[in-house]
Amino acid sequence: MERLNNHNQGNGNAVPEFVSAPPEGDWATIDWITSHSEAEERDALRRRHGLSNLDEGSPFYSKGFIVALLVGLALGAVGVFSDACTHWVSSFRSGICANFFWLGVNMCCVEGASCDGYYSWGEFLLGRDNLVVKFVDFIMYVLFSTVAAVTATFLCQTYSPYAAGGGIAEVKTIVSGHHVRRYLGGWTFITKTISMCFSTGSGLVVGKEGPFVHIGACVGGLIANLFPSYQQELKRREMISAGAGAGMAVAFGAPVGGVIFALEEVSGVYNFKALMATLIAAVTAVLFQSRIDLWHTGQIVQFSVNYRHNWHFFELPMFALIGIFGGFLGSAFNILNLRVGRWRKANLKHWRLVEVAVVAFVTGMINFVIPYGSGSLLELLGDCFQDCTPDSTVELCEKGEFITFISLLVTATSKYVLFIISVGIYLPAGMLVPSLTIGALFGRAYGMMFRTVQEYFPSSYLFAECVDQDICVIPGVYAIVGAASLLTGVTRMTICLAIIMFELTGSLESMVPVIIGILCAKAAGEALGVEGTYEIGIEENKLPYLDPKKEFHLDFCAEDIYGAKKFTVLTSYGLTIQNINDLFQKMAVTGFPVIESPEDATLLGYAPTKKLVRAIQLAASSNSNVNLNTYVRFKKHPSISADPNLLELDLTDVLESCLLQVEPECSVKKMLYLFKALGTHHIVVTRHSKFEGFVK
């Protein structure tokens, strides 16, 4: 019977006292064969009893629409809560509004009114005219920044370790067909939502979009669990994917960008139902969030820009240069952050809280000192996109060109260094908003430099398009291109990023420069041979994920993979429940191939562990004569015993006969295509229907 080795990690089920379930682990491969067969059984029961099967139709006329709508409403509410909470944590570091303590200075001091109601902490504690007000402001700013970050880490350590980190790489792995216990659970959802408010509000160079993708996946999974028709793993993962895309939409206020993100980055294969569910959830969440309108902007677009004129064709090479710079800078971040992460694993594994406190303390000091550093990253990002006009109130437009240029470089460099250190510490941390902000700072500085060159040589043939224009080169456009370029360099996002940038700014005219920057950044990063941060994270953490966008050039065949391995198979008869129980105790598997006999390796099918456990449970509960010595068989044939009264347990119905099979000479390149195109995670290797091996 023991012919081959354990081939597939998985979860066990509760079984009768005389049968031990396989040990459980957090990570497990989904048994798609079992998932599909159980769905078919439920469909057959519904048809037998004359029940409607509307949920299998178009999502607009089914439970799918209702589930997606609920996911969108829940995420919209979470988005409103997190925005309010993050704003309060962030503004509380700088001071307090006397009448409305939860408001920052921008909301407390209405334009045109006096600011007597807002106090910095130095003014609040010592009075407005005290000489040491600035010093007290510095102390309180750093103190509250550190406390907020430590609070986020404490919540993750105490209630849900899976709440730390970004979560996009793990969500991609889960949607591809793997199960992680508790990763999308209720405690993870609650902990990540609350701790994310403290981590992003603490001033650390981290964002909320990665955590929001994880939160959205949690919401999708939790709401799908409420509906029996979504208990099938495949359909449940459709809603997890929809929740992840809606989470991205909520983080940026970009519903279409969230849909494309789910299609490009989360889902491995195209799925129309998942796409429609994502669209419904994303639009519902963003509309709900905009309807509440916490900050009374009256618009969905977060950073609306309205430039006085369009970009010019002579600027296209400049946009390409920004893209190349962003690709190099993003790739450098991936390399440096990977090295910092490895050093952190080796030396600071037991000092997570102390590490977060130190990083937050240093970040708070630097943010208070550098220009444009004390506010939130999103506010700074929005300021970088704006054009300087005579009546502009943007801080970046208040000082001279040279001082602003130097300030932008100092702030961008400081944030970049802090970004490398901050991503990977033990709290919810995304990297999209920091990448956008740092790229926008560098891009705006580059645009200001190029505008100075144009103004110094106004009569040059190169700038002939600028005739009769008071301002020809707009630094805000370069900030938009720089933001998209650096984010592409870090993550390799392309189409969804272009859509997100359009929805963020509402500037359709900037799409061509943004696309040029994105393509050049992606080409520059790939030329260096550095992968995106999500791919690096998946490889570094050894997550079981096969990237459908990757091309593999391998010259060996299936037999070369399994030739030196051993597998465990079951025979069609001659086994007892005790034999199966012993196998469960020795290995954690999701199922076993079943062959005719030890002498005849003809493949009969695949026996999923869950079905084996369930069948034994039912037999034991209905027949008291079933015991450890009871024989089992997986094929209809005469009894193996001369005693006609000997009980045999017929497990023929447990077998799954629809298996993807290849010959031993099948090339690995073809097998990888099957894995990616069909979404399967197991391929059986047979020769003339004789079992040879298993590839996963």
Dist. CA 319–CA 515, nearest whole Å: 9
Strands 591-595 and 570-571, sheet pairing = parallel
CB 338 within 8 A of CB 540: yes
Domains defined along the chain, listed by start: 68-106+115-292 (1.10.3080.10), 313-347+375-541 (1.10.3080.10), 558-695 (3.10.580.20)
pLDDT tens per residue across span 551-560: 667 777 877 7
CB 21 within 8 A of CB 613: yes
Q: State which H helix or E strand residue 691 sits in.
A: strand 690-695
More confident residue, 691 or 414: 414
Dist. CA 217–CA 349, nearest whole Å: 27
pLDDT of residue 173: 85
Query: Which pLDDT band, with edges at 50, 70 and 90, does 300 fall under?
Result: low
Residue 295 corresponds to which amino acid?
W
Residue 129 corresponds to which amino acid?
D
Nearby residues of 211 by Cβ (< 8 Å), 6 or more positions away? 166, 167, 192, 196, 199, 428, 429, 430
Strands 178-180 and 648-650, sheet pairing = unpaired
The pLDDT of residue 234 is above 80 = no
For residue 570, list its beta bridge partners: 594
Dist. CA 559–CA 267, nearest whole Å: 30
Give the range with max mean pLDDT: 481-485, 577-581, 646-650.
481-485
Cα distances from 150 to residues 64, 139, 208, 353, 369, in angstroms, run 40, 17, 17, 7, 22
Q: For 482-486, 595-599, 678-682, which range has the lowest pLDDT when averaged over its residues? A: 678-682
Mean pLDDT of 43-70: 60
pLDDT of residue 102: 67
CB 423 within 8 A of CB 206: yes
Q: pTM score, two decimals? A: 0.83
For residue 691, list its beta bridge partners: 686
Q: For 6-15, 27-36, 406-415, 663-672, which range has the lowest pLDDT when averaged over its residues? A: 6-15
Nearby residues of 542 by Cβ (< 8 Å), 6 or more positions away? none
Cα distances from 42 to residues 59, 164, 229, 591, 608, in angstroms, run 19, 37, 9, 21, 17
pLDDT of residue 412: 95
pLDDT of residue 327: 95
Cα distances from 152 to residues 81, 96, 419, in angstroms, run 16, 22, 18
* 397 φψ region: left (φ > 0), alpha (ψ -120 to 50), beta (else): alpha
CB 206 within 8 A of CB 84: no
CB 285 within 8 A of CB 75: yes
Q: Three-state SS across 596-634? A: CCCCCCEEEEEEEHHHHHHHHHHHHHHCCCCCCCCEEEC
Residue 130 corresponds to which amino acid?
N
The pLDDT of residue 135 is above 80 = yes
Alpha-carbon dihedral angle through residues 474, 480, 485, 491, given to the nearest 10 degrees: 170
Nearby residues of 34 by Cβ (< 8 Å), 6 or more positions away? 590, 591, 608, 610, 611, 656
pLDDT of residue 299: 62
The pLDDT of residue 48 is above 70 = no
580 class by beta-carbon count within 10 Å (0-12 exposed, 13-18 middle, 19+ buried) = buried
pLDDT of residue 459: 79
More confident residue, 480 or 465: 480
pLDDT of residue 56: 45
The pLDDT of residue 9 is above 50 = no
Query: Which pLDDT band, with edges at 50, 70 and 90, does 178 fall under?
Result: confident
pLDDT of residue 491: 92
DSSP string, 265-321: II-SS--HHHHHHHHHHHHHHHHHHHHH-TT----S-SS----SS---GGGHHHHHH
Q: What is the pLDDT of the chain when averaged over all its residues? A: 82
DSSP string, 530-556: PPPHHHHHHHHTT-----TT-------
Mean pLDDT of 36-50: 50
- In the block, tokens 């997606």 appear at 68
Dist. CA 544–CA 173, nearest whole Å: 7
Phi then psi for residue 683, to 5 deg, are -130, 130
pLDDT of residue 298: 60
Q: Coil, strand or helix: which one is 260?
A: helix
pLDDT of residue 144: 93
More confident residue, 491 or 640: 491
The pLDDT of residue 267 is above 90 = no
Query: Which pLDDT band, with edges at 50, 70 and 90, does 295 fall under?
Result: low
Q: Coil, strand or helix: which one is 680?
A: coil
Q: State which H helix or E strand residue 29 sits in.
A: strand 27-29
Query: Which pLDDT band, with edges at 50, 70 and 90, does 350 fall under?
Result: confident
CB 128 within 8 A of CB 118: no
The pLDDT of residue 357 is above 90 = yes
Dist. CA 298–CA 180, nearest whole Å: 41
CB 294 within 8 A of CB 80: yes
Dist. CA 119–CA 307, nearest whole Å: 35
For residue 97, list its beta bridge partners: 118
The pLDDT of residue 180 is above 90 = no
The pLDDT of residue 13 is above 50 = no
Dist. CA 348–CA 336, nearest whole Å: 17
Query: Which pLDDT band, with edges at 50, 70 and 90, does 114 fall under?
Result: low
Mean pLDDT of 83-106: 80
More confident residue, 472 or 9: 472
CB 578 within 8 A of CB 628: yes
pLDDT of residue 41: 52
CB 411 within 8 A of CB 370: yes
- The length of the chain is 696
pLDDT tens per residue across span 373-399: 888 888 899 889 888 877 777 888 888
Q: How far is CA 64 from the centre of its chain?
A: 22
Up-side HSE of residue 640: CA atoms within 13 Å toward CB? 17
Strands 683-687 and 603-608, sheet pairing = unpaired
pLDDT of residue 202: 92
pLDDT tens per residue across span 57-82: 444 446 788 899 999 999 999 999 99
Q: State which H helix or E strand residue 593 sits in.
A: strand 591-595
pLDDT tens per residue across span 186-209: 999 999 999 999 999 999 999 888
pLDDT of residue 640: 52
More confident residue, 668 or 343: 343
